[in-house]
Amino acid sequence: MNVPLTDQADADARARAGLLFGLAAYGLWGVMPIYFKLLKAVPSIDIVAHRIVWSLVVLVFLATMAKAWGQIGAAVRSRKTLPILFVTSVLIGTNWLLYVYAINSGHILAGSLGYYLNPLANILLGRFILKERLTRLQWAAVAIAAAGIAVLAAGALGTLWISLTLCFSFATYGLLRKIVHVESLAGLAIETALLFPIALGWLLLGGSEGRPMFGLGGQETALLISAGVVSTVPLLCFTAAARRLAYSTVGMLQFIAPTLQFLLAVAIYDEPFTWAHGIAFGCIWTALALYLGAMIRDRRASQQRECDEMAEA
C-alpha cells in the first residue's frame, strides 16, 4: 500500500529537481550573449576552443569532488555509450561554434529563432521517438507555437540556416543525452575530453589569427579562462533536467532562453523588434501557458485517480 505513495513522492521530487535544473540552464543561456559580446574581438572558433579547454579543467575538478571517475571509466569502457558520446561531442561542438558566431556577427535574433524552433523539435522527438503522449490541448499548444515561429522564419530567410542548424544540433544532442546511460557530469566530461585535443592543438598553433593563447591580457584573458565555468554550469543543469523530465516538457521550458535573448537583442544591442516578433511572442507564450496548464491538469487528475484507487482498496 505504501509503495505507490513512495514511488509517487520520489517521482514528484525528481520532477521538481528537474524543473529547477531546467530553469537554471535556460536562464543562464538566456543571458549568455552578454558574456560573448564582451569577447567580440576574438574569433568565434578561438572562443569555442577556449570553452572546450577550460571546460575540461572545470569538469576534472568537479568529477574529482563528486567522485565520478568510476562512472566516467564505466562509460568509456561501454561499447554502446562511448560511440553515442562521440556523436554528442560533435553536436555540442558544432552548436557552440555556430552560437558564438551568431552572437558576434550581429545575428542574436537568428540564434534566438533557432532556440525557438528547438522546443518544437524536442516535443516532436519526444512524441515520435520516445513515444511520449500529448493531449489535444498540448498538440494545440504546439500548433500555436509553430504558427508564431513560422511568422518569424518568414522574415529571416537569409539567416535561417543558422537557426535550423542550431535547432537540429541541440535537439539531437538533448535526445541522445536523454537515452544514453550516463550521468550528466560523467557524460559531459567525456564529450569535452574527446574535443580537447583538437581545441588545445588549435590554440597552441596560434588560433585563427596568430593570437596569444591566453588572449591579449587583462579582461580578455580573464573572460577566456572563465569560459569553462560559463559553458559547463548551464550544460550540466540541462542534462540533469533532461534525465528527470519528459523531453516534451524540457522543450517547453526552452522558450525561456530565446525570449531572454530576444529582449537582450532589442533592449541592449539595438536589433530591430518587428511586428513579426510581436506576433511570435504572443503565439509562443500562449502556447507555453496552454501546455503547462494541460500538464498541471493531467498531473492533478492522475493523483486524484491514484487516491481514489487507494481509497477503494
* pLDDT at residue 1 is higher than 50: no
| Per-residue pLDDT at 3 | 46
**Cell numbers given for 120:** 518544437
Buried/exposed code over 38-55 (b: 16+ C-beta within 10 A; e: otherwise) = ebeebbbbbbbbbbbbbb
> Mean pLDDT, to the nearest integer, of 120-127?
80
Q: Each residue of 67-110: pLDDT tens digit?
A: 999 999 999 999 999 999 999 999 999 999 999 999 988 889 88
Of residues 139 and 213, more confidence is placed in: 139
Chain mean pLDDT for the chain: 85
pTM comes to 0.80
The angle at the Cα of 161, spanning 155 to 167, to the nearest 5 degrees, equals 100
Residue 235's nearest CA partner among 301, 276, 177 is 177
**Domains of the chain, residue spans:** 2-312
Q: Each residue of 282-312: pLDDT tens digit?
A: 887 788 788 777 777 777 777 777 677 766 6
Distance CA 294, CA 284 (A): 15
* pLDDT at residue 250 is higher than 80: no
Q: Each residue of 181-192: pLDDT tens digit?
A: 898 889 999 999
